[in-house]
Each structure stands twice: as C-alpha cells, then as structure tokens.
Amino acid sequence: MMRQTWRWFGPSDPVTLADIRQAGAEGVVTALYDVPPGTPWPVDQIATLKAKIDGGALTWDVVESLPVSEAIRTNATDADSHIQAWIASLERLADAGVQTVCYNFMPVLDWTRTDLTWTTPTGAHALRFDLVDFALFDRHILGRTKTQYTDAVLEAAAQRAVTLTDARARGLTDTILAGLPGAVESWTLDSFRARLDAYAGMDAETLRANLRRFLSAVVPAAEALGLRLCAHPDDPPWSLFGLPRILSTEADYAALIAMAPSPANGITFCSGSLGARPDVDLHGMVKRLGTHIHFAHLRNVTREDDTLPGTFHEAEHLTGSTDMVAVVSALLDEQRARQAAGRPDWQIPMRPDHGWHFADDRSRHTAPGYPLIGRLKGLAELRGVMHALAR
C-alpha cells in the first residue's frame, strides 16, 4: 500500500483533522499558507502546526508547498536572498521531522481553471479548464493581442465575446486571477499585466537556467538534511499567456533530474496535471522515472477532445482519460523494487487530489476541488484498487 495522505489547509479548513482521520488517511499534506514567499518559515509556527496534526493522531508527511518566489523564477536582484530563506525553511522543517517538500516552478500563476462549479452529468460540481474561455479572457478581457491560439480557438472566443456580460467577465477574471487553493498570490488585472511584463522576452531555456540555479543551491542543502524535494508539474501542462512552462512532460522531468542528480531531487507525480496532455505516457513515466517519485497526486481528468487539446474537466478518480489502475499498479511495482533494494523511503505518500462536490460538500463551503466527501470517495476507490492489486 502507498501511504495514504490528505491535503489540509490548516485550522480554518472546513475539513477537520478528525474528518481526515475518519476518512482513513494516515498523514497530512499542508503548509504555512500565510508566510510570504522569500521569508523563512517561523520555527514556532512550524511547531504549532505539527503539534495540531500530532494531536489529531496523524503525521505531517509532506509540505505542499514551500513556495518558490517570483524573484527566484525570474532571477531578480533578490533571488539569492530568497533562495537562502528557502534553505532556512528546509532546515527548520528538517528539525521538526518533516522530510518531503513539494514545490512548483510555474511562472506567475499556480494551477489554473476557468470554471470552479462545472455541473457533471450526475449533478455534482467539478473543476474545468475550457481553452476557449481562457482565450476569451486573454484576448477580450486582459487585452493581450499577441497570442498563440489557433484560428479555430480565436474564432470561438470571439463568438463568445459577443454575448459576454459584465458579470461573466468578472467571474472569469476572479476564477483565473484570484488564486486557487495553495496558490501563493492573487492578482488584479493591472498587477497581473505588470507581472507578465517581468517575463517579457523570457523563453523556456532562460527559465530552465533559473531552475538549474535554484536547484544547485537547494538540492545539496536538502540532501545534507535528509530531505526529499519533489517538483509539481505545470497545471495545465502547457504555456499560458505566452509564459514559458518547463515541467509539463516526461522529457522535462528527465531534464530536471539531470540538472542536479541526487536522492533529494525528485518528482511530485500528479496524474491529473500530466494527464491533461494526450502525449504523456503516465504508466510508462512511472516505469522510467519511478525511482525519483517522492510524492503522488492521484486524480483523473477527462480530456474532452484530443483533436483540439486544451479543454478538460476533473473526472472521478477511476474514470476519465487516465488508466488509474495501471498507474497505481506501476507505483506499487516501484515500491516493491525499493523495498527489495533496501530503500528506507520505499513507501510513496499519495493523496486523492481534487474531487467532485456533492451531497453535504456544498453546504460545507470547502475550497474548490477539495471537498470532504468527494475526496473520501476517491481515497476509498484508490484504496480498493491497491488492495485488489495486492491480491
């Protein structure tokens, strides 16, 4: 069995530690969400959060996320001081006994959707990314004219713009820019335009060089502390607003590992983020890069039209475009190989990422994508798959 964990957004989360324990999770995935990027995490806040988790008969298994600041991603003048602050946070987390740290290297925006309450055929609500709606926002609300959409997408966006109401424009803006759970920052249209300007002229190779510079400093520190760092994939795994994205494919992850070869430099394997691309072989990726997977997000998406990639919605955990049983089987094979090799970190922490909002979830006011019952259902299904495969 993989280690079953659950994302918790702290004491203000409507899903309590007691709920998490009753759902069958063993560990918690969380962070200090109120500490600004570039600032070391305070020792007392780490200790307080860990004590709450311990008191709930759970363990703090993974930090998600320790944010990488925009200064680091752009190699601004204060990048070095922000990297040193990041290392200081690693030292304090290691002292507290937390060993796995997830981060991402997505410029400006964290994970992005265009609809937080898309109605599924069952009447439940799910997250959705609609490429035409995104192009509508980009061209007709944000006002960018230099874009990379196909003519078909631009034409469809223009047709929707004809009937665009002020309320719909505000809703789309809030959904894309206000920040989703775990996101570090939220933006106004003006501040977002200014942030995009900071990336003017930056291509993927420049962003990779900045990632390499970051890894060259933090990976040796993490290895010395006995920590495991794991980079989360881009979500969605392609360029948005013309910004470079460099953790979207298996080749990107192979390049990440090659930048700083170390047991501390690894992967957050998110089957939903990577699965939004039709050209990513998730089962094969586990087989080829599995030794570097330190953490797994198990969720599924339905790609709505592979002939026009870019629109998808969150599916139930065992349905959708990804063969979840094959993915879980490959991860369990990787665990067995680690056990045979005597690796102390043989067990991969996983969490049921995202879920449909239904039943009591709607009155609970949980964060988009993070309901209690929707994730409990997903965890139960994944647990059943693991038990069946073990037989």
* Residue 294: active-site member: no
* Residue 270: active-site member: yes
* Residue 297: active-site member: yes
Could you say which of 138, 270, 292, 357 is catalytic? 270
Dihedral sign for Cα 196, 198, 204, 207, please.
negative
Phi, psi of 208 (to 5 degrees): -65, -40
* Residue 292: active-site member: no
Q: Which residue do the tokens 């530690």 mark? A: 17
The answer to whether the beta carbons of residues 22 and 2 sit under 8 Å apart is no
* Residue 252: active-site member: no
List, in sequence order, every residue forming a beta bridge with 349; answer none if it has no partner. 3
Question: What pairing do the DSSP bridges indicate for beta strands 100-104 and 59-64?
Answer: parallel
Could you say which of 292, 297, 317, 357 is catalytic? 297
Could you say which of 292, 317, 354, 357 is catalytic? 354
| Closest-CA residue to 301 (of 371, 356, 247) | 356
Structure tokens given for 172: 């789309």
Helices (H), 178-249: 189-197, 204-225
Could you say which of 232, 313, 317, 357 is catalytic? 232
- The rounded distance, in Å, linking the Cα atoms of 69 and 82 is 7
Q: Quickly count: other Cβ atoms within 10 Å of residue 318's Cβ.
A: 18
The answer to whether the beta carbons of residues 8 and 26 sit under 8 Å apart is no
List, in sequence order, every residue forming a beta bridge with 228; answer none if it has no partner. 100
Burial of 274 (0-12, 13-18, 19+ CB in 10 A): buried
* Residue 115: active-site member: no
DSSP state of 137: I
> Would you name the residues annotated as active-site residues?
232, 270, 297, 353-354, 370
